[in-house]
Amino acid sequence: MSRLLIAHRAGNDLDKLAEAFAFGVDYAEADVWLYRKRLEVRHDKTAGPLPFLWERWSLRPGWNKRLVLSEVIRAASGHGKLYLDLKGDEERLPATLTSELKLIGVKDVAFSSPVWWYLDRLAPDFPESQLFYTLSNLERLVQFRPRLAKREISAVAINSEIVTKDVIEDLRDAGVEDITTWGIEDREAAQAVFASGVNGITSKNLDLLSELRGEG
């Protein structure tokens, strides 16, 4: 089973995107939100009516120019593939994303999201794309088991904190072909999750991803 090497958040910055592709990753991850009818690429959250973007330990102005998906797609074209991690809970996000990708002519792209119905809606329009259903914790894994029982899920992204050999074996037994995990920033952690049966990692450590690519 081939390894999938994904550059964490590399698509959120055009300079990092170019660097990631130069390191030979399979995908560059980009976090996509639908905000005021635009597909923005950022990890930060909006602050309601307040003009700020925030993450757990940071706050930045929200009035500066924001990166949009079309810019990221143009920058990636001819250089590598995108792994679009879909955020929020916006009813129109799947339809807006489908329209934009088809307008630009993008086909070779992967999607992930903890909002499972996003992926359900994208599936008919992107039959060749991998849809990675995100499992953030054990509670979400339990909630996902009815879907696994139908043996219709081919890919998941699972938090490294809940990766065990038994969990991965259960996913494989349910017919899941590609299993990626995030939060992997050193060789020891990578070796541990690969040993458990995971075949893909998402990491900010481009040197690690390059080394793993060189090992085949």
- Digit-coded pLDDT (tens) for 104-115: 988 889 999 999
Answer yes or no: are the C-beta atoms of 29 and 37 closer than 8 Å.
no
pLDDT at 213 over 80: yes
Q: pTM value?
A: 0.91
pLDDT at 155 over 80: yes
Quick one: pLDDT at residue 58?
57
By mean pLDDT, which of 16-25, 63-72, 77-86, 129-138 is the weakest? 63-72
By mean pLDDT, which of 36-40, 58-62, 116-120, 144-148 is the weakest? 58-62
By mean pLDDT, which of 34-48, 55-69, 143-157 is the weakest? 55-69
Q: Where are the beta strands (DSSP E) in 70-136?
A: 81-86, 109-113, 131-135
CB-CB neighbours of 201 under 10 Å: 25
Quick one: pLDDT at residue 48?
54
Which of the four pLDDT bands, split at 50, 70 and 90, describes residue 59? low
Rounded to an integer, the average pLDDT of 13-20 is 95
Which of the four pLDDT bands, split at 50, 70 and 90, describes residue 63? very low
pLDDT at 54 over 70: no
Q: In percent, how much of the chain has pLDDT > 90?
A: 80
Rounded to an integer, the average pLDDT of 175-186 is 96
Overall domain count for the chain: 1
Which of the four pLDDT bands, split at 50, 70 and 90, describes residue 35? confident
Angstrom distances, CA of residue 66 to CA of 63, 70, 74, 96, 199: 8, 12, 15, 18, 33
Which of the four pLDDT bands, split at 50, 70 and 90, describes residue 44? low
Q: In percent, how much of the chain has pLDDT > 70?
A: 88
CATH of residue 48's domain is 3.20.20.190
Would you call 2 helix, strand, or coil by DSSP? coil
Q: Which two tokens stand for residue 36?
A: 């005021």
Per the model's pLDDT, the better-predicted residue between 153 and 59 turns out to be: 153
- Domain that includes residue 146, residue range: 4-214
Q: Round to whole Å and give the CA distance between 103 and 69.
A: 12
